[in-house]
A and B are shown apart, each in its own frame.
Chain A
Amino acid sequence: MLKRVHFGPSWLPFALVAPQIIITVVFFIWPASQALYQSLLVEDPFGLKTEFVWFDNFIELFGDEHYLGAFQRTIFFSFSVAFLSMTFALTLAAMADRVIKGATTYRTFLIWPYAVAPVVSGALWVFMFDPTLGIFTYTLGALGYEWNHKLNGGEAMFLVIIASAWKQVAYNFLFFLAAMQSIPKSLIEAAAIDGAGPTRRFFSIILPLISPTTFFLMVINVVFAFFETFGIVHAVTAGGPAKATEILVYKVFNDGFIGLDLGGSAAQSVILMLIVISLTVIQFRYVEKRVEY
């Protein structure tokens, strides 16, 4: 942690950490403790009276079918996004790892959706699936399927999953490719000499060797889908139709800023914080045990 050779105590280090500590306290620790405190309060709709209710907000949340519904949806949504974008990225990375010529060119074409803001990604997909004008709506219509994600909850969910997964492919591809390229060529060659074909090598050697990366990406993708997809949901469906795409982050925003249920929203924030903390802990524990070849 500390350098063996270092500077002695003075006022300087305090001045150096001060900006970051002040911002952290004012914009992170204070608001987070406020959320913690508010989650134990109930306020009447006019903000005139507040009452300390201990864990009633939490008990209420877990008895609320809307909240439990949002929880289930978020889990379904995150794992769908993670699965879809990771499988797609893994396939492409396996192919790019094989072709030596042009691997960088393919990489250039595959990574840039990372730079697209979630809400922009939402705008692109909602345009292509617009119920009256969209290009895919038209194609599906020609095939005899009537698409309208503004009425059909399943289709709306499908659309937000696609829009989120599309954006995540870039990130996953980059990490899968880097992991595959770090596998020693001698291992692959040895397997080839033993008569293992490309498919066999992929499943018996490459896939097990990149499993740490797969696990790391799994966590990252779930975190992304849990917390960074607000823009996509807001742009594509605004949680609708009939709450079919209302995920947890969206519900916190909706209950807090639109519904003005401060206690309930704060309790939801606290639950989300616990989820982030546990995911971060999982990620860190794993990072320490990273497999090196």
Chain B
Amino acid sequence: MVEHRPIVTFVSHLVLIFGVAIIAFPIWITFVASTHEAARMVQIPLPLLPGDQFFKNLELTLFKGLEGAGAPPVGFMMVNSLVMALMIAVGKIAISLISAFAIVYFKFPFRMGFFWMIFITLMLPVEVRILPTFEVVANLGMLNTYWGLSIPLIASATATFMFRQVFLTIPDELLEAARIDGAGPMRFFVDILIPLSRTNIAALFVILFIYGWNQYLWPLLVTTDQSMYTVVMGIKQMLEAAEQSPDWHQIMMTSLLAMLPPVFVVVFMQRLFVRGLTETEK
């Protein structure tokens, strides 16, 4: 602090607390809604303080799901989301690591051509090419599979760029030393490059896990079978059912469960998260 101005500091804290309150209010309301029974959630005005039905709702939502919404139990959908998010995060990191390794450490024909092919993916988000991509996945028979859910989202220029950047900062002497010791390319990659980029891998994992978990449009298109639904798309089904019978206590419990894993990751791995965000610039 530059100067001592108690009033300005006090006002700053006040504004910040007010800001936090605005940001947190929707989550508070969600939590409150998930702790009341169905009957209470149709009386106006809705409660602002939590009730005592939290665990009952939790059990109901996790294991039975919302009846009549045409969605499986939420616990089941969360497993699907988890598998998809992990496949996307691990897959992206793995293929980006090896392709960045090839591009930085090898001299081979079409090296720059490959680099530009990867670069192009940066410019084509799923949303702008959904229909043809859907056709490809359908023709490959990958609808309603974990492969169909994750592989089309795995190629990523951002991750390749980040690893390329990391590898470029690694001193040349390390490779020379490794060579003198008789290490081949793969030995060098596994024993030196990967350990050196450990923190970057972890930071990227945090970002990609959130990205994968929160996918919505793509799962919505490639899954028609209830057993493949993810929790994020399950919410939409429930909202549609809410037009007839507003079971808000269960919908809000599902929302709470759907945001829990990514929020948990952000809060408890905050340093890695911030690092991952600023390094990839998304």
- B-binding residues in A (CB < 8 A): 1-10, 12-14, 16-17, 19-21, 23-32, 34-35, 38, 88, 91-92, 95-96, 98-100, 102, 106-121, 123-128, 130, 132-135, 138, 166, 169-171, 174-175, 178, 185, 188-189, 192, 198, 216, 220, 227-228, 230-231, 234-235, 249, 252-253, 256-257, 262, 265-266, 269, 272-273, 276-277, 280, 287
Contacts and interface: CB of A to CB of B under 8 A. Distances in A.
A166 B33 CA distance: 20
B56 interface: no
Contacts, number: 304
Interface string B177-203: 000000001100000000000000000
B129 A19 contact: no
Interface in B87-116: 94-96, 98-99, 101-109, 111-112, 114-115
A6 B128 contact: no
A44 to B, nearest CB: 17
Interface string B1-40: 1110100110011011001100110110110010000000
B266 A114 contact: yes
Contacts of B101: 16
Contact of B2 (A91, A106, A192, A234): A192
14 contacts: A6-B106, A12-B102, A17-B103, A23-B155, A26-B140, A34-B135, A119-B236, A127-B33, A135-B48, A178-B274, A188-B2, A230-B127, A231-B216, A276-B128
A97 B196 CA distance: 33
Interface string B256-279: 001100110111001001100110
A108 B127 contact: no
B49 interface: no
A257 B131 contact: yes
B26 A166 contact: yes
B281 to A, nearest CB: 8
B259 A133 contact: no
Chain B, interface size category, equals: 35 or more
Interface of B: 1-3, 5, 8-9, 12-13, 15-16, 19-20, 23-24, 26-27, 29-30, 33, 41-42, 44-46, 48, 94-96, 98-99, 101-109, 111-112, 114-115, 117-118, 120-125, 127-133, 135-137, 140, 151-152, 154-155, 160, 167-168, 172, 175-176, 185-186, 210, 213-214, 216-217, 221, 232-233, 235-236, 239, 246, 248, 251-252, 255, 258-259, 262-263, 265-267, 270, 273-274, 277-278, 281-282
B114 A9 contact: no
Contact of B132 (A23, A38, A102, A169): A38
A189 B2 CA distance: 6
